[in-house]
Structure 1
Amino acid sequence: MPDSLIIAPQWIGDAVMTEPLLRRLQARGERLTVGALPWVAPVYRAMPQVADVIEFPFAHGGLQFRERRAIARRIEGRFDKAYVLPNSLKSALLPFLASIPERIGYFGEARVGLLTHRLKNPKNKPPMVAFYSALSGGAGLENDRPQLQMASAEIDQTLAELGLQRGGYHVFAPGAEYGPAKRWPARHFSELAARLGLPVVLLGSGKEAALCEEIAAPVNAAQPGKCLNFAGKTSLVQALCLIAASHSTISNDSGLMHVAAAFGVPQVAIFGSSSPLHTPPLSDKATVLWLKADAAYQPPLDCAPCFERECPLGHTRCLNDIGADRVLAALPSGA
């Protein structure tokens, strides 16, 4: 059985999108070890086909050559293949320094000499699952759906620690790392929370704690304890457990949206400046709200998708005009 090293992408959503590739590789007999940054490593531990995870001590930015060389020396001789999922030069450096015989990835950032097998980058943006799956050597399957699994005991422990019950709450993931043009307005989230029959758990990073509090405060003023702001207060493992056990998840186009889809949780995914044609939540239980695709919405959003961090026109109609009524109607019955 060949041993393969997977150099993982740095974002949670991208990490989820790589799962079908890993499933393919494991099915054909490769033993998989994933090298990942600490903030995405828990996603790979939720993939049963991954035998081991190595956490890389790298920071954002910089080549960090010394650190990469040190890890390369420790793993030299362990792997037959390396799949380099990010397109950066530094991502391809470690497998090269470790003298892994086959090093597979896309062309990018002057790394021709670092890879032994190179795929051309597609001209048009394909769905991310197909983009990553093509690295297996076959055609990428656009509709192959990522799957994550958490141990039932781990979910039960997290729920017990936080005083929650399976299916007894909704999850809101109101953040989006890219910028405000991907974030449904806080006031809409607050209105939705106030109208739901179950409590709401707000998830996000510490940077999103203030945003989550802006959502929770007016709701809790009228209905004390209705919103639980856990932004920055849970580990990623706990966040995965909370999403997996939720009644439903409501989010923007974000990493946690893809997590909910991979757990098969009923969800509503709200798109603004980005496109669900490129990064959809791949689940039968997902409902996508995107005004660009709504023929009845007038006037048409000719500006979408703009893929900008902030609305270039200053109105952000693509998100402001999706009301709480519409999201509520898209949720499963019993919400």
Structure 2
Amino acid sequence: MQNAHSASEKILVLGPAWVGDMVLAQSLFITLKQQNPQCQIDVAAPAWTSPLLARMPEVTNAIALPFKHGEFAFWERIRFGKRLRKEAYTQAIVLTNSLKSAILPFAANIPRRTSFLGEMRYGLINDIRPLNRAKLPKTVDRFVTLGLAKNVDLPNKLPNPKLIANHTNALVTLTKIGHQKPSHKVLGLCPGAEYGEAKRWPIEYYAEAAKAALAKGWEVWIFGSEKDMPYTKQINQLTKNGCLDLGGKTKLGEAIDLMALCDTVISNDSGLMHVAAALDKNLIAIFGSSTPHHTPPMSDKSHIQYLGLPCSPCFERTCPLTNPVEHMQCLKKITPESVMHLFQ
């Protein structure tokens, strides 16, 4: 791989605001370190991403951005960027395509500002890379190519994200919620998907998979944010409260550390799917309205369940087919039985 960086490189990455995309960004961080082990990588992103970045050994500093989601905040970004001038970054890599995301590195006087053109960012971005969507179909391809020298092709195999979980913190979290360290295998379930129901495998199917694991003597842990609590609660009720319902009970860092104790994870296409892949779990990744050709889990232990029906992928939040025979078939035809043999 051609080296695009000097020994004293200090790189500021403007990171994405989604869990899954931030996990995929680790492939870029690893690539930068492979090219120049001495380079420093700082990542500026929303504050909630800090626990994720803390589990990426390539990242030196996580810089919490104070801006609200979608907020332009022009002068605030200028002021924040000016405060970063003292850091003397040699390069900024901007992973998002918005105009506002390019203001901060410009204000920070970072000499080389690398990204795709995005929203007419001439001048703000001065190391513009062409975005060939056909040549770079995956999000991770686009992230990594920004870390390479111009006109250098992507390697055949990109480095997989690899999160370093905190085992001690996992045990502390279990104690806090009144649960023992597992003495049997653990199946993790991730039934949420913030994007919408067209990405969510049916609750009843998750419950059937949970029952099969419980019958084998496994523990079943259900992961989810506060927004996912209706789903985690319903799954637990369908198993007669045989699971550990973690819905809304853990922060992101705690969820990552607990997931590291799981043996197998079943997940919709969501941020937690990418977390499970980066923890090198035996992962059953279920795709409905989205496609694994764009954001596949980066792991050799992933079993992708995707039917590729004629209507797929539609990328809709809710299934546009109202006929009961057709409605949500991209997910309903992935039966619990078809995934149970993948438990390991």
List per-residue Cα deviations over 1:47-74 (Å, max 9, x = no partner): 1011111111121112012332232122
What's the counterpart of residue 41 of structure 1?
50
What's the counterpart of residue 270 of structure 1?
286
Q: The residue matched to 2:27 in structure 1 has which SS?
A: helix
Matches of 1:92 and 1:234 in 2, distance apart? 33
What's the counterpart of residue 187 of structure 1?
204
List per-residue Cα deviations over 1:130-180 (Å, max 9, x = no partner): 111000124334642111112333333333434243564221111111111
Matches of 1:312 and 1:3 in 2, distance apart? 47
| 1:234 pairs with 2:244 | no
Check 1:148–1:141 CA distance in 2 against 1; reply closer, same or farther (3 A cut). farther
Cα root mean square deviation, aligned: 1.6
Query: Percent of aligned positions with the same letter in both sequences?
Result: 38
| 1:251 pairs with 2:267 | yes
Matches of 1:140 and 1:18 in 2, distance apart? 15
Q: Which moved more, 1:272-281 or 1:13-22?
A: 272-281
Check 1:219–1:316 CA distance in 2 against 1; reply closer, same or farther (3 A cut). same
Amino acid aligned to 1:75: L
Matches of 2:95 and 2:155 in 1, distance apart? 16
Check 1:142–1:65 CA distance in 2 against 1; reply closer, same or farther (3 A cut). farther
Matches of 2:156 and 2:307 in 1, distance apart? 23
What's the counterpart of residue 21 of structure 1?
28
What's the counterpart of residue 327 of structure 1?
339
Q: The residue matched to 1:283 in structure 2 has which SS?
A: coil
Alignment partner of 1:165 out of 171, 176, 181: 181
What's the counterpart of residue 295 of structure 1?
none
Matches of 1:24 and 1:175 in 2, distance apart? 31
What's the counterpart of residue 213 of structure 1?
233
What's the counterpart of residue 102 of structure 1?
112
Q: The residue matched to 1:47 in structure 2 has which SS?
A: coil
Q: The residue matched to 1:40 in structure 2 has which SS?
A: helix
What's the counterpart of residue 83 of structure 2?
74
Alignment of 1:140-151 (within 5 A): 140-141=154-155, 143-144=157-158, 145-151=160-166
Alignment partner of 2:145 out of 126, 129, 134: 134
What's the counterpart of residue 286 of structure 1?
302
| 1:178 pairs with 2:195 | yes
Alignment partner of 2:39 out of 30, 48, 61: 30
| 1:152 pairs with 2:196 | no
Q: Which runs of 5+ in 1 are unaligned?
A: 293-300
Matches of 1:260 and 1:102 in 2, distance apart? 34
Q: Which moved more, 1:36-45 or 1:1-10?
A: 36-45
What's the counterpart of residue 64 of structure 1?
73
Matches of 2:284 and 2:133 in 1, distance apart? 30
Matches of 1:13 and 1:141 in 2, distance apart? 22
Alignment partner of 2:61 out of 52, 58, 65: 52
Matches of 2:295 and 2:133 in 1, distance apart? 16
List per-residue Cα deviations over 1:12-57 (Å, max 9, x = no partner): 1000111111112123132011111122222111110111111111
Q: Which runs of 5+ in 2 are unaligned?
A: 1-7
Amino acid aligned to 1:44: L
Contact map agreement 1:129 1:141 (CA 8 A) in 2: no
Contact map agreement 1:77 1:100 (CA 8 A) in 2: no
Amino acid aligned to 1:290: Y
Matches of 2:51 and 2:153 in 1, distance apart? 28
Q: Which moved more, 1:136-145 or 1:103-112?
A: 136-145
Matches of 2:175 and 2:65 in 1, distance apart? 31
Amino acid aligned to 1:24: T
Between Structure 1 and Structure 2, how many residues are aligned? 320
Q: Which moved more, 1:190-199 or 1:104-113?
A: 190-199
Q: The residue matched to 1:112 in structure 2 has which SS?
A: coil
List per-residue Cα deviations over 1:284-333 (Å, max 9, x = no partner): 211111122xxxxxxxx21112222122223110101111111212222x
Matches of 2:294 and 2:250 in 1, distance apart? 29
